[in-house]
Amino acid sequence: MSTSKREEVSSHLRYIRQELRDLDQMLGKHGLLPEMSELKEVYNSLDALHQLLSGKVKKKPKPEFDD
Protein backbone atom coordinates (compact mmCIF):
# COMPACT_ATOMS: atom_id res chain seq x y z
CA MET A 1 0.00 0.00 0.00
CA SER A 2 1.40 3.40 -0.91
CA THR A 3 2.24 5.92 1.78
CA SER A 4 -0.50 8.36 0.76
CA LYS A 5 -3.13 5.60 0.73
CA ARG A 6 -1.90 4.39 4.12
CA GLU A 7 -2.21 7.92 5.51
CA GLU A 8 -5.71 8.25 4.06
CA VAL A 9 -6.76 4.93 5.63
CA SER A 10 -5.25 6.01 8.94
CA SER A 11 -7.19 9.27 8.80
CA HIS A 12 -10.45 7.43 8.08
CA LEU A 13 -9.84 5.06 10.98
CA ARG A 14 -9.08 7.90 13.43
CA TYR A 15 -12.31 9.65 12.45
CA ILE A 16 -14.38 6.47 12.74
CA ARG A 17 -12.86 5.60 16.13
CA GLN A 18 -13.70 9.06 17.46
CA GLU A 19 -17.27 8.85 16.20
CA LEU A 20 -17.71 5.42 17.79
CA ARG A 21 -16.26 6.69 21.09
CA ASP A 22 -18.74 9.57 21.05
CA LEU A 23 -21.65 7.21 20.36
CA ASP A 24 -20.48 4.86 23.13
CA GLN A 25 -20.28 7.73 25.63
CA MET A 26 -23.78 8.85 24.69
CA LEU A 27 -25.08 5.35 25.31
CA GLY A 28 -23.16 4.96 28.57
CA LYS A 29 -23.92 8.31 30.18
CA HIS A 30 -27.46 8.91 29.07
CA GLY A 31 -28.74 5.54 27.97
CA LEU A 32 -29.88 7.20 24.78
CA LEU A 33 -29.67 5.80 21.31
CA PRO A 34 -27.78 7.95 18.81
CA GLU A 35 -29.57 9.92 16.13
CA MET A 36 -30.10 8.10 12.84
CA SER A 37 -28.02 10.74 11.04
CA GLU A 38 -25.05 9.96 13.30
CA LEU A 39 -25.35 6.27 12.54
CA LYS A 40 -25.57 6.99 8.81
CA GLU A 41 -22.43 9.12 9.03
CA VAL A 42 -20.44 6.31 10.65
CA TYR A 43 -21.83 3.80 8.14
CA ASN A 44 -20.83 6.04 5.24
CA SER A 45 -17.35 6.48 6.71
CA LEU A 46 -16.91 2.73 7.01
CA ASP A 47 -18.17 2.28 3.45
CA ALA A 48 -15.72 4.91 2.14
CA LEU A 49 -12.87 3.16 3.97
CA HIS A 50 -13.90 -0.20 2.52
CA GLN A 51 -13.96 1.27 -0.99
CA LEU A 52 -10.54 2.82 -0.47
CA LEU A 53 -9.05 -0.46 0.69
CA SER A 54 -10.71 -2.60 -1.97
CA GLY A 55 -9.90 -0.15 -4.75
CA LYS A 56 -13.45 -0.37 -6.03
CA VAL A 57 -15.63 2.67 -6.40
CA LYS A 58 -19.28 1.82 -6.57
CA LYS A 59 -22.30 3.89 -7.33
CA LYS A 60 -23.84 5.50 -4.30
CA PRO A 61 -26.65 3.16 -3.19
CA LYS A 62 -30.04 4.31 -2.09
CA PRO A 63 -30.16 4.82 1.68
CA GLU A 64 -31.02 1.67 3.58
CA PHE A 65 -32.43 3.54 6.55
CA ASP A 66 -35.81 5.17 6.87
CA ASP A 67 -35.86 8.59 8.48
| Residue-level pLDDT, tens digit, the chain, 67 residues | 677 888 888 888 888 888 888 888 888 788 777 788 888 888 888 888 888 877 765 566 666 666 5
Domain positions in the chain: 3-54
Task: Give the three-class secondary structure for 59.
Answer: coil
pTM, entire model: 0.55
pLDDT at position 57 is 58
Residue 8 confidence (pLDDT) = 85
Residue 56, CA distances (Å) to 5, 18, 33, 50, 53 in order: 14, 25, 32, 9, 8
Distance CA 67, CA 35 (A): 10
